[in-house]
Structures are given as structure tokens and as C-alpha cells.
Structure 1
Amino acid sequence: MLSPAVDSIRRRSIHLTAACQHGDITRPAPGTGIKLHFKDSKGNLIKTVEANEGDDVLSIAHEHDIDLEGACEGSVACSTCHVILDPNSYDLLPEPEDDENDMLDMAFGLTDTSRLGCQVQLTRELDGMTATLPSATRNMFVDGKKPTHH
């Protein structure tokens, strides 16, 4: 029997992208990938990219230099990768887990179709999805940090 600490670590799920698991990124041939449109908070198109099934929105944004923070690096410990999805795509996704909902509660500009980009994995059904970046983010560690006396 394993100690409770080791057992807890073994049961914890870890979200990794294909790049982290295999060490390289293989992008789809043009016209064959899942199209993902990124828009700014005013609705202006930032960039349209193609990604693979299983990629997450945060990783794709970082790969294409789109300004989506992701301060916790996808560990669901912040809300800085908050995106607003188009309603049709939002409805195709599974319901957010409790930890994602907890972080979304702290997101700036929360909407009915808000999700954490690190938790949105692309599927063929999501081809053509639009992810809109909010006008600001809340980084609770940086924004809420109180100075300490020396």
C-alpha cells in the first residue's frame, strides 16, 4: 500500500500538450488543421491559426505569440488564460470542472461563454471556433500581493 501522499500524486491528473510529451511540434498541413480565430476585446481579428486535435487554446496562443498570459502555465491555479468563446463552440464543450469554475469566478469580464484557455482542448467539432481575449486579466498573485515588512 502506498502512502497517502504518494497515492495523491498518482491520482492527480496532469494536462500536457503533444509538444511536452514528444519534444517536438508537428503542425497540420495548411487547410487540414482545426481553425481557431483569436479576437481582441473589441472584436477585431488578431490571428487565425490551425492546430491539431487535442491542442489546448492556451498553448496554441503562446505558440503563435498571442497575448494570452497563462501565469500558472495551465495548472488551473489562476484565471489569466480566460477567453470568451463563441456560443456554438461553448455548447460543444464538456462542462467545466469545479476547479475551473473556481478560477473563472475570479476572471475579469466573466461571461456566459467564458472558459480557461488551458482547459479547452480542440476537437474537429470546434473547427472555426473564435476565442476572444478579455480587455484585462486578474493575476491574483501579482495584483493582489500585499507587500511585507522587511
Structure 2
Amino acid sequence: MVKITFVDAGGTARTVEGEVGSTVMETAIRNGVPGIDAECGGACACATCHVYVDEAWREAAGEPEPMEEDMLDFAFDVRPTSRLSCQIRVKETLDGLTVTTPAKQG
């Protein structure tokens, strides 16, 4: 299992375990992490699973693909480290990943 820390807009951190091969969004939903709405269920069609990847993890998490970049246009308060958590696959190299949820979802 891979540990992922979700920090909400108020600064509260929750560390949960994610299964390799799942997504960061699926991990959040399975663990009841607030701030991840995931209205489309992970189809990269709604931008309600928007997160900010901690700068230290940006390279490991990767850059958004063009379809994800298009969906980020609908997200609230997009930043250079913005990603849709449905598009980040959990892998061993992401053990310790920290992401922050925005104050509100798109």
C-alpha cells in the first residue's frame, strides 16, 4: 500500500493508504476524504476531483495530459501544480505523496 496525505483548504491533513493501480481520486473516495467530489466517477469529465500536488511530488506525479488540461479549465483556482486526482495513478514511487484540495470544487 502507498501512503497519500490529503490536506484540506483549512490545513487539516489526512493520511490514507492507496492501492497500487488505483487512482488518487479512488483512494480519496474509498477513505471518505472530504473535498473530493468526483461527480463523474473518474472519467476526466467534471474537474470535481481537483487537487494541488505538493511541489516536491510534482515530477513524480507527472504533468497533465491534454484532455486533463482541458478539464482543468473548469476547476476552481487552478495553479501550476493543479491536477485531477482521477488522472494520477497510484504507484510505489508515489509513497508519501501529498496533495491539497482547493477551497471548493469547480
TM-score (norm 2): 0.92
Once the two structures are superposed, what CA deviation does each residue of 1:39-90 show, in whole Å capped at 9, x if it has no partner?
1113221x21112211201111111111210111111111100011111212
Tell me the amino acid that sits aligned with residue 93 of structure 2: E
Cα deviation, residue 93, structure 1: 2.6
* Candidates 58, 63, 73, aligned match of 1:105: 73
- Give the aligned length: 105
3-state SS, counterpart of residue 101 of structure 1: helix
* 1:1-150 equivalent positions in 2, closer than 5 A: 33-45=1-13, 47-67=14-34, 68-138=36-106
Once the two structures are superposed, what CA deviation does each residue of 1:121-142 show, in whole Å capped at 9, x if it has no partner?
111111111111100111xxxx
Q: How many percent of aligned residue pairs carry the same amino acid? A: 39
Inter-partner Cα distance in structure 2 for 1:83 and 1:94 = 13
Which residue does the alignment assign to 1:29?
none
Inter-partner Cα distance in structure 2 for 1:93 and 1:35 = 14
3-state SS, counterpart of residue 48 of structure 2: coil
Unmatched 5+ stretches in structure 2: none
Inter-partner Cα distance in structure 2 for 1:43 and 1:111 = 17
Q: Output the aligned Cα RMSD.
A: 1.1
Tell me the amino acid that sits aligned with residue 93 of structure 1: A
3-state SS, counterpart of residue 48 of structure 1: strand
Inter-partner Cα distance in structure 1 for 2:55 and 2:22 = 20
Inter-partner Cα distance in structure 2 for 1:56 and 1:96 = 14
Inter-partner Cα distance in structure 1 for 2:100 and 2:51 = 6
Larger fraction in strand: 2
| Higher Rg of the two aligned structures | 1
Unmatched 5+ stretches in structure 1: 1-32, 139-150
Query: Highest relative contact order (Cα 8 Å, sep 6+), 1 or 2?
Result: 2
